[in-house]
Chains A and B, each alone.
Chain A
Amino acid sequence: MELSTLQALNVARASRRAAVVVTDLSEGTSQAFIEGDRIRAEWAAPVSEVLHSGRPRLLTIEERALFFNVHLPPPRIVAIGAVHISQALSRLAPVAGFDMAVIDPRTAFATAERFHGVELLADWPEDVLPDRPLDRYTALAALTHDPKIDDYPLRAALEAGCFYVGALGSRKTHAARSERLQTQGVATEAVARIKAPIGLDIGAASPAEIAVAVLAEIIGALRRRDVDLPAEGGK
C-alpha cells in the first residue's frame, strides 16, 4: 500500500468519514475511496454494499481477485433532552454498539446521577454542537418537546446529513414544528426527513419502550441509509 493511500485513509477515519480500500491481490495495488469520491462504475456496487453492511468482501471482478475493506466511523446517538426516555436510551444504545451523548441545558435534568457513565453535556445545543459537530454517522433524537431546545439541533442535524433525525411529539406538535422549521428556511424535503412521531410503531407506552422503538428506528436508518457515491463517468 502506498503511504499516500494510508494517509488518506487515516485522515478520513479521523474526520469520521467512511472509507473503502480496494486491494488488487494479484497486482498488489491499493486504492482508497472516501465516501463522496467518484468511483469506477464496475466497483460501485461492491463499494456501496460494503459501506452499507460494514463488512469487507473478497470478490473476483473481471478475473481479478479484489479485496474491499471498509472503515466506517463508529455510529453514535446524540439525544437532545436529559429526559426519562434518554435515560433508558443511554443504557440500551451501548449494547447495540452506539456511542451515546446527551445534551440538555436544564441542569436539573442533566445530572450525573441520572446519567451515570454517559457523555452528558449540560449546555445549550447552540453552544455544544459547533465544537462537536454532527455528521452522517450520527443519529439525532430531539426529545425535549421544547422548541427552544429542540429546533436548533434539528436544523443542524438535517444540514449535517445525520443518518437519522427524529423528534418526539404528536402529529399535531410535529405539524407545528414542520411549519416553524420551514419558516426558518429549512427546505420542505429536509423537514420531511424528520421521523415523527418518533420511534417504530410498536405501541410503545413507557419511556423504556419508547427508547426501544427509537433505537430500532435508528438501526433501520443506519442499515438502509443512502450512501453518497457519485458514479464515475470517464476512466
Chain B
Amino acid sequence: MQNEPNILDPLAVAETWHEQGRAVALATVIETWGSAPRPVGSHLVIDGEGNFQGSVSGGCVEGAVIAEAADVITSGTPRLLEFGVADETAWRVGLSCGGRIRVYVERIDG
C-alpha cells in the first residue's frame, strides 16, 4: 500500500501521479478576500486527463481551475487566476459565498 498516496494530501498525490508518468499541474490559493472557503496555501492537484484531488474553494471554482490547468499542462507557463463576485464569469462558476480568491496554477516539471 506504500504506493497509494493519501488522497487527502494533494502534494503527495502530485508526486505519485508524476511518478506514474501523468502530466501534473498544481493550483495554490495565494490570496483571499472576504469569506473565502479555503485558506491561503490550499492546493488542488490536476492531471492531464482532468482528474483532481484537493480543493481551492468549496467546490465552486474547481471546474474553471481544472480547465485552465489543461492549458498550463500543455504550455508549461504558469497562470494567475482570479475568481470573485466582481467577475461575471466567476459568478457564473459560482463563488457564491461572496469571497474573492486568487489561484496560481503551475506545472510540475522534472
Contacts and interface: CB of A to CB of B under 8 A. Distances in A.
Interface of A: 1-4, 6-7, 9-10, 13, 23, 25, 28, 30, 55-56, 58, 67, 69-70
B108 interface: yes
* Interface-central residue, B15, B39, B41, B109, by most chain A CB under 10 Å: B41
B110 A2 contact: yes
B77 A28 contact: yes
21 contacts: A1-B26, A1-B108, A2-B108, A3-B15, A3-B109, A3-B110, A6-B11, A6-B14, A6-B108, A7-B15, A10-B12, A10-B15, A23-B106, A25-B80, A55-B39, A56-B40, A56-B41, A58-B31, A58-B40, A67-B104, A69-B28
Contacts of A3: 15, 18, 108-110
B78 interface: yes
B11 A28 contact: no
B99 to A, nearest CB: 16
Size bin of chain B's contact surface: 20 to 34
A1 B40 CA distance: 18
Nearest to B12: A10
Contacts of A58: 30-31, 40
A26 to B, nearest CB: 9
Interface of A is mostly: mixed
Interface string B19-35: 00000001010110000
Given A1-B108, A1-B109, A10-B11, 12 more contacts: A1-B26, A3-B18, A6-B14, A6-B15, A6-B26, A10-B15, A23-B28, A23-B104, A30-B106, A55-B39, A55-B40, A58-B30
B110 A4 contact: yes
Contacts, number: 54
**Nearest 7 CB-CB pairings of A with B:** A3-B110, A56-B41, A28-B78, A67-B30, A56-B40, A69-B41, A2-B110
A25 B11 contact: no
Contacts of B30: 23, 25, 56, 58, 67
Contacts of A6: 11, 14-15, 18, 26, 108, 110
Nearest to B79: A28
B35 to A, nearest CB: 17
Contacts of B80: 25
A66 to B, nearest CB: 10
A67 B78 CA distance: 14
A58 B41 CA distance: 10
* Interface-central residue, A6, A10, A30, by most chain B CB under 10 Å: A6
Contacts of A4: 110
